[in-house]
Amino acid sequence: MLLQLLCLVLGPSEHQTCDINCTELSLLLSRKRIRTFVIIDKPGQNWLISSNIRLELGGVDRPHYDEDVPDLILLRHGRSQWNQLNLFTGWHDVDLDAQGEAEARDAGRLLAESDLDLRILHTSLLTRAIRTAEISLYEASRSWLPVRRSWRLNERHYGDLTGKDKKETAEEFGMDQLKLWRRSYDVPPPPMPAGDPRSNALDPRYRDVAPEEIPMTECLKDVVARVTPYFADVIAEDLRREGVKGGAVLVVAHGNSIRALRKLLQNIDDDEIAELEIPTGIPYLMKLDDTLDVLEADYLGDPDAAAAAAETVARQAG
């Protein structure tokens, strides 16, 4: 749904009228960038909201905290069994392989060597992310962290490509088509057929997810749309809650859900984010200010090792 808003934006700007979708509005609200907005009526639509409805966000001053909001650490799971076999994985649940477990331990050591005060963990519902978090936090002596898990942090759903060999897919459909499915921002692979045994519809971990929200295929744009409300409603609130205490928030997820978070936080454009390679098992530290803007960001540890790991991901046929 596209809303037309009359917004008073925090900062030097005056009132602005803009078209905005619900996802974008959710992110702006989470960052406290809008202190007042008026929804402008859209006659003839199926919905109608009175134009005098207002939302006040804590007065006219920019929110103030005793310290910056906490550091946010993004960690892609270690190499999985299907990564090793070069298969499209997506929502299919597989464990780490031996190398992936080693990557998780290395990530834990990097976290332990940093001065980060890890306080809250977020993961997807997929085993490879959960196990990466468990191993790395054990290595960092933080196994006791409270955990929040959400399907919204799951990997992108690869539709009918799920379980297929990436190189064989390239041979069948051509590299151009494969790249379009893998690295375009808004072109999803063919959907998984209805009733397919690979479907996640009956998986008990998704019992409380509305059936229409369980995808049959996704592009990166779809992942951004489902990750954004989770960031705005849950992760951002944890960042603020821990910020005054100097705590850090760790998110262990997947290549595409981490791309989605980085797009939101770093304002990366559609073409660039689709090409961004996310290495497995190397923590990415984002230092934020009190509006959740990124002040600086980089991988922990050796930058050459992070670049080499990203190149390894890029060399995969899919």
DSSP label of 97: -
Residue 143: give the domain boundaries: 72-314
**pLDDT score at 311:** 82
Q: 84 and 48 in one domain?
A: no
Count: domains in the chain? 2
| Interatomic CA distance for residues 62 and 197, integer angstroms | 51
- 18 and 139 share a domain? no
Residue 304: what pLDDT? 87
Residues 127 and 173 in one domain: yes
Check whether residue 47 and residue 112 sit in a common domain: no
End-to-end CA distance of the chain: 33
120 backbone dihedrals φ, ψ, rounded to 5°: -140, 140
| Of the residues 30, 46, 63, the one at which a domain ends | 63
Q: State the amino acid at position 27 in one-letter form.
A: L
Q: Are residues 176 and 214 in the same domain?
A: yes
Query: In which order are the strands placed within the sheet that holds 248-253?
Result: 147-149, 118-123, 248-253, 72-76, 284-288, 294-299
Q: What is the CATH number of the domain that holds 220?
A: 3.40.50.1240
Beta bridge partner(s), residue 147: 121
User: Could you tell me if 98 and 145 lie in one domain?
Assistant: yes
Which residue, 228, 145, 156, 153, is CA-closest to 186?
156
Q: Are residues 53 and 171 in the same domain?
A: no
Helices and strands (H, E) in the chain, number of each type: 11, 9
Q: Decide: 3 and 24 in contact? Cβ < 8 Å.
A: no
Same structural domain, 251 and 285: yes
pLDDT reported for residue 312: 78
The whole-model pTM stands at 0.80
Query: Which residues have a catalytic role annotated?
Result: 77, 155
Same domain, 59 and 76: no
Please list the rounded mean pLDDT of every run of 10 residues in the chain (318 residues): 47 49 57 48 39 34 48 97 95 97 98 95 98 98 98 98 95 94 95 94 96 96 98 96 92 98 96 93 94 94 87 65
Write down the pLDDT at residue 21.
Answer: 57
Q: Quick one: 156 and 17 in the same domain?
A: no
